[in-house]
Structures are given as C-alpha cells and as structure tokens.
Chains A and B, each alone.
Chain A
C-alpha cells in the first residue's frame, strides 16, 4: 500500500492534492497542561460541547483522562475550556477511587449518549482494592454522566476498552476476568446482573470492541490460531439481553462471524463505516509484523480489501472514517513527510488527498461533523518555526472541505 500510495502520488501529480483539503489548522490551547506530557486520543463528544483526551505524564508513570468544555459555535478553532481530570486526583478518596498514592490512573475514555443535561462518558480507571488488601492496582470501568459517577465493574482483573452503543443502553468492554480477555456487555437497563459475557472462546482473547452505527452489531478482534482475526457479532444486543450465561454461550458462536477467515495476518482496531456497511481495520502482515496496513471489509460479503499500507494506527480505536463513508483519514508512516495525514477514498478511481496541516508526527485522528463542516481532530507536533518545543504533541483541529 505504501508503494501504491507513492505510485498514486506520482501518477496523480498535483491532482493528488485536489479533493479533500484541510482549510484551516489550529492548535488548541490546553493551558497549564501543555508541555506536561504526551497527549493522545482527543475526541469531541457527540453533542460537540466537550472534548476528552489522554495525557501520558512526562514521567511515564501515569496517564490521565482530561475533559474540557468546547464552545464550537461558528468560531474556529473552537474555544476550549480549561481541561479537568476526569478523576480529580486530589479529591478525597470516598469510594476506593484512585491508584497508587492519591492519583488515579485513567485511560481509554469513550463517549456515551448525551442528554439535555450533558454528556456521559466511560473510562477505565484504577481503584484501590482495599478489600483485597495490599496495593494491587487494576482498572475498572467508571461511568460518568451529569450527576452520576460510579464504577460499573469491580473485579481484580482489568476491565478496559469501554465502548457505548448508539443508544447508550449497552457498554461493551474487554475484561481479563475470564483469564484470557473477553468481551462483556454492561446492560444499563437489565434486570439482575447487568454484566453479560459476550465471548466465550477458550483459547484466545477478544479485544477492540467496536459497535456498528445502529448500535446492534459488534466488531472485535479475536485471537484465533495464533493470529488475531476480525469478527462480527451480528446481534450483540440480543445476545447481551440473554440472562442465562449458558444460553448466551451457546448462541454466541452462532452469532459470530470471522471476517478475516484463513488470514495469516493479525488484525486490530476495527471501525465501522458511518453507513454501517463496511469495517475498516488495521492489519499486521505476517511477514511485516511491525507494519500496519489499512483494510476494509464489506460485512455483507466479508472479503477484506487492502486500502493503504504502512499507516499508523491510532492509540485507541480504529481507523477514522469520513462521515459520508466515502473514505478514511489515515496517518501515513513516513519519515520523510513526518507522518502526514491523508484522505483515502474507498473508490480506487478517486484520488487520495494529502492534508496540508503544517504539522508533524500526526496521529489519533477523529472527525466530527458540525453543520456543513468537518472538523478533524488530531495530535501532532507543530511544524516549522511555530513549534519551538517539539517534544510534546499538541491537539490540532483542522477544518476539512471536500
């Protein structure tokens, strides 16, 4: 794909830069957090009023999720409020929140639904396990919404990768509680135990859950035969509604399809197209295990198609789709161009576009539609003379036009 990409660039010449463009690119001011650590995974909330990101502390010891208010409006870039830690570390630990010392480690945030009172969010957070004694740290899933904050899970093994479905009724997460990594659903309105195991493969772990846009199907990566395959659970909601685990177990396999059957390569980080027809995912080729290629598979016929080679997967989640499902935004792994951002259309006949963001070492793309405009959020180091301190990446927002 890398070759294909280069070839396309050569063939298309100046046309390569036609189509999708980054009209305006600005860094978002993060105030006192700037320069304190590595920022990853910025995402606007569905209601556009908030933004989260993760900050790996400079000492590398802890990571924290921060949330900032966003005043979009018509201004560009959006006005960002002072970021606040999702779990205030200085707060008195009321109910075993917090990691070593007084500081909680939080990661892998996921936006849930928004109500008229605000936005819900889930994230993996460490908590003290006083009941188990000692200082063993593990992650549990913390749910926050206006006026609400509680752990959805409490288990000695890690729970992480929370992902809400569209309605917000189900949250799927990956958990080590089964001993090998499995996906579980937290059903907010369930009777009885709200935690429902969804995957039951004995010999492998299931990770990277991704909900379909309609909130019913679930894509994930399952370890099968030494490699990681992309699976699709067609009706995960229905499965999660089954109270009896035995019944659920018996139906889970029938509901699950391998979308990369027979592949010797390892897949990771699937992502549904907004129209729900395709799943984009990354692949580590067997013969190039350190390389990541971008694939797309039609969930109807299940034949994966290579779309780009040598791209850089985001820190969390899967590839970044264009809102109209016409293509994906990817970060090209290019030492020469310092990891530029491309828009790769699905239609091979169309040109892919290099977004001139003026930034370097881009990553963690996410996109939000605001009216007529697309806002591409990503992390990068500033380019040229503007960014004197290039050690730490910043959050940038680009206004995209087609």
Chain B
C-alpha cells in the first residue's frame, strides 16, 4: 500500500513537473512568435492559448504568460481579451511596466473605446451581438476589432461585481446583450463610442440585499414584500423554478405580492425588477424560497372503549394540507371513516367508531390516516393504527367474592381471558325458594372484570353471599345459564315461610305462570330488582313498603338456551291492586 501511494505521489509530482515544463515551453514559443511581429501573432495566440489550457490556474496569475498573450491578442485585434488579462495583472499587483505600457496602448492607441458592463448581481452566461449602426463605418483596423469582438460576444461570459469591459472600435453601434439575470432576456442599446471613451452600461444597477425582502411561505403560497428603493415607482415580479425561464407574476406599484399558486416542496426563485418613473430598470434583486412543505408528519391511534366503541385520535403536523382522510380497513375491505377538507379541515380530532359487534374470534381493524394535497399523486403523509377487537366471552371461568365491611367486591375471569361483552350482569345467589339469583347490578363496560356493591341486607358475620356473572350483548346473555356453576352452593339461609297473595299479609305476592317452552330459567324483575328462578313460580315478600305510593312493573322473561330472552308476562303493580287487608 505504501509502495502504491509512493508511486502515485511520484506520478503526480512528475505530472506536475511535466505540466509546468509544457507551460513554460509554450509561453516561450508564444513570446518567440510575438517577437516576430504581426505576421506571427496568430501563431502566438495559438500556442499561448494552448499553454493556458495546459495550466489554467497558472495562466491566470502568471505575469509572463499574461503579458505574452495580451501582446498576441492586441496584435490580432482581440482587444477585449487582452484588456481582461492586462487589467487582471494590474489590479492583482502583478503587472510590470510592459503590462502597463500595453494597457496604455490598448486604451489610448488602438482606437477602441470601452464599454464597461456593470452589474451589481453576478452575471452568468452573458452573450451579445454588436452591429454597426446604419451610416456608420469602420476603418480596416476597426473592422478587424469588431469582427473579433463579435466572436467574443458570441461566447458566454460570466462576471461578478468587477464587471466586464468590452473594447469597441470607434463608431456607432447597436449592441444587444442577453441578460441571464433579466427575465426580459435582452438589453439593446444604440451607442456612439469614441476612441478613449469609457461608457458604462449597467445591467443591474443595484442589487438589494435579500434582507430587504419579507418572505412568508404558506400553504401553496408565498407572501412577498420588498423594500422600495429610492426612485422606484413600479415593480415587476417574476418567478422561476429553474433559473432559466421566468414567469411574470406581478406588475404594479405595490411593494408586496402574494404568490397564491406556489409550487410545493421545490426551490422557488423570485426576481424583482424595480423601475423608475420612465420605466428604466433601477435594480434587480432575487430571492430564493419555498412554499410551505407539505405535511410530513401525522399520528393516529385507536382504543377500544368500554362501550365497544373505538376511539381513533389523530393529528397532522405542520405543513401544507388540503384534506384528511381516515380509512377503516376491516376484513380486507376499506371504507372511508373520515374525510374532511376545506372549511371543515382541522389538524387534529378523534374519530369515534362502532360500537363493534363482538364475534367469536379476533377482529383486526386498521385505521389509516392520509394527509392530502389537492392534485397530488399520493398522500403527503400516511400513518396507520391497528387494533384487535377480542372475541366475545365464551364463559366466565371464575368469580371471586370478597367483603369489606358492608361492601361486597366481586371479580371474575373469562375465557378467552381478554374476551369481551357489552356488559355484565352480577347476580347474588337467591335465598328464596326457586330463586337462583338476584340481580345486584350491571356493569356496562366491555372490559369490566369487577363489581362492587353494598347489599341491602346488613351482612352478619355468618352471612355469606354467592354470586354469578352473566356477560351479555344487548338482550342476550353470552353464557348459558345451565353452564353457570357459580351458584353451586346453596344459600345457607333457609327458605322462609311462604305467603300467598291475599292471605292477609300484605303485601306479599305469589306469582306463577305457564311454563315457557325451552326456557332454562326465568328472569323476574320488579321494582328494578331482577331475579333468576328455575321454576315458573315466585313469591315476593315485604311488598307493602315497596308499593306505597309507587307503581311498579313486574315482568317475567323466559331465558332461552341461546341466551336470549322471551317475555312471558308483565304486570303493573300498585297499592290499589293489592290493598291492605
């Protein structure tokens, strides 16, 4: 490796030496041709330009080369090019007396006047044409100089604030310059130039600093403001995306404009021309900016609520935005869950979907947010959130009961473990004959796995309650009652003495009904209290206090094997119906 590096360095060094030797040799030949007079000036130019090509960096600063090529250029009437070299040598402090003499000769003896092109802004690729005005003519030297100048101007030239000086033979001309800076494309001028004159053509007289601009990018819009320079009475604002073609956006007297159709996400170049009262261009300035970038960030999440609805909060970040679409994808089918735009467009919100219908298996759902710009081929931002809706509960595996003073705390487990129901009905095992359980409460939260309540009876030390839990969806219990094992133990409270309606003990109630075919249990509800019983018969005690001044509906429903309920009977109860005896 070291040997290779050494070899490369050696090659480079040898190469540099060879270039330097070639350069020196060519310059020497150029000087030789120069010494031989006008007849050999073209040969001098040829070899000296070859030297320049061999080592451009050295040619740019080398005094000997600069003098030689200037000499050759002058002899071949390429005055402008000679002036460029001589001026650079003198201004760079590298010129000698010969340089100075040639410069003096150019300016005072060639019959050329100077046209100095000045531009406050850098100029790239300037070309031009020059032609004699009608009625004007040149002597033979002038013709040669003009011919060479025409060739010079046909090639693109770049320069900065130092400007470009053209040496033009004495006469009257029409000069046209391409103006890469100028959206108008060209500048023409008729000029009479005399030998020794120096005329100035300002391409761009003033280049206001970018700080003079106020640029406020927005959604597909850029608000522009600019400083009004002295003497400016009107403006033209052009827009370019490629720095080659310009589109006129605004012409007027206001010093501000809003480009409301700015392309997004690409650099935009604005060029401002300030014009004087006579329409003369006073200044050109340019600024580069962007319209606001499209939205690139967004976020979406999804949560299953206790009521089996799905909350989908979302937000989109800063940037240009025309619409927000949220797709819901389920079972391979996508449907629009949200589509907002225009006046309804907001950048954040929460979509509420559902409630979902539980099934026996997992249900994956994906919510996909798309942030759109009108007319775009694709969304500017896209994010997804997926949620898996668990299956409905197949069974309640276990019920745990605990007692804390007078409050009973119940927990349960389900299978599948994370399975869901719309709600849960919690029953305490009945202490009355035929009553399996008495509803103590419902929890309408799909995720619920616990329930607390305070029994109406004061619990003694020995008093024990047993509970079972029936998850449900709508009016359907998910768990078949005959599979319910929670009430395995019978209450140890003895079945009290039965009383029948009308036996004088008001208000006790005994109620029976025809068996409902297929019913596994009956649900009897009175005064909001639900009981599950096995037989088609039930007794109620202590109804008197309950019925005083109140009307109650008593309903009996048959609980079917599929968990659904079927109404059996319904009674309106009030004290009138059951008068105290």
Contacts and interface: CB of A to CB of B under 8 A. Distances in A.
Contact of B140 (A115, A131, A194): A194
Given A117-B195, A148-B195, A189 B138 contact: yes
A53 to B, nearest CB: 22
B393 to A, nearest CB: 108
A131 B137 contact: no
Interface stretch (A90-98, A234-242, A311-319): A90-98
Interface in A139-188: 145-150, 154, 187-188
A85 interface: no
A91 B101 contact: yes
B187 interface: no
A188 to B, nearest CB: 4
A33 interface: no
A371 to B, nearest CB: 28
B346 interface: no
Interface in B31-46: 35-40
A130 interface: yes
A123 B109 CA distance: 15
Interface string B126-152: 000000000001111101000000000
A324 B38 CA distance: 46
Given A189-B138, A189-B140, A147 B37 contact: no
A137 interface: no
Interface residues of B, number: 33
A115 B111 CA distance: 13
A154 B41 CA distance: 14
Given A94-B105, A131-B36, A148 B110 contact: yes
Contact of B37 (A117, A131, A188, A194): A131
A150 B196 contact: no
A190 B112 CA distance: 19
* Dominant SS among interface residues on chain A: loop
B101 A146 contact: no
Interface in B61-110: 74-75, 97-98, 100-102, 104-105, 107-110
B259 interface: no
A113 B109 CA distance: 17
B109 A149 contact: yes
Nearest to A168: B139
Given A92-B98, A188-B140, A146 B36 contact: no
Of the candidates A94, A115, A189, the one having the most CB atoms from chain B within 10 angstroms of its own CB is A94
Given A91-B101, A117-B195, A148-B195, A189 B37 contact: no
Contact of A149 (B38, B108, B137): B108
A146 to B, nearest CB: 6
A228 to B, nearest CB: 32
A148 B139 CA distance: 12
Main secondary structure of the interface of B (DSSP, over half): helix
Contact of A145 (B35, B102, B113, B195): B195
Contact of B139 (A130, A131, A154, A188): A188
Contacts of B37: 96, 129-131, 154
Contacts of B98: 92, 94
Nearest to A95: B105
B170 interface: yes
B194 interface: yes
B140 A148 contact: no
Contacts of A117: 194-196
A177 to B, nearest CB: 15
Contacts of A149: 105, 108-110
B111 A148 contact: yes
Contacts of B111: 145, 147-148, 150
A131 B195 contact: no
Contacts of B137: 189
B195 A146 contact: yes
A147 B40 contact: no
B101 A147 contact: no
Contacts of B102: 94
A91 B137 CA distance: 32
Interface core residue of B35, B109, B196 (most chain A CB under 10 Å):
B109
Given A130-B37, A131-B35, A147 B195 contact: yes
A131 B40 CA distance: 9
A92 B98 CA distance: 7
B113 A147 contact: yes
Nearest to A151: B38
Given A96-B37, A189-B137, A146 B196 contact: yes
Interface in A55-94: 91-92, 94
Contacts of B97: 92
Nearest to A150: B141
B45 to A, nearest CB: 15
B170 A147 contact: yes
Interface in B17-38: 35-38
Contacts of A91: 101
Contacts of B112: 147
A115 to B, nearest CB: 8
Contacts of B75: 95
A115 B405 CA distance: 127
A258 to B, nearest CB: 33
A172 to B, nearest CB: 16
Contacts of A148: 109-111, 170, 195
A196 to B, nearest CB: 12
B70 to A, nearest CB: 10
Nearest to A190: B140
A189 B171 CA distance: 12
Contacts of B141: 150
The residue among B35, B111, B140 with the most chain A CB atoms within 10 A of its own CB is B140
- Which 10 interchain pairs have the tightest Cβ spacing? A147-B195, A147-B196, A148-B111, A149-B109, A131-B37, A188-B139, A92-B101, A131-B36, A194-B140, A94-B101
11 contacts: A94-B102, A95-B75, A131-B39, A146-B196, A147-B194, A147-B197, A149-B108, A150-B141, A154-B37, A189-B137, A189-B138
Interface of A: 91-92, 94-96, 115, 117, 129-131, 145-150, 154, 187-191, 194
Given A117-B194, A147-B109, 15 more contacts: A92-B97, A94-B102, A131-B37, A131-B40, A146-B194, A146-B195, A147-B112, A147-B170, A147-B196, A147-B197, A149-B108, A149-B109, A150-B109, A189-B138, A189-B139
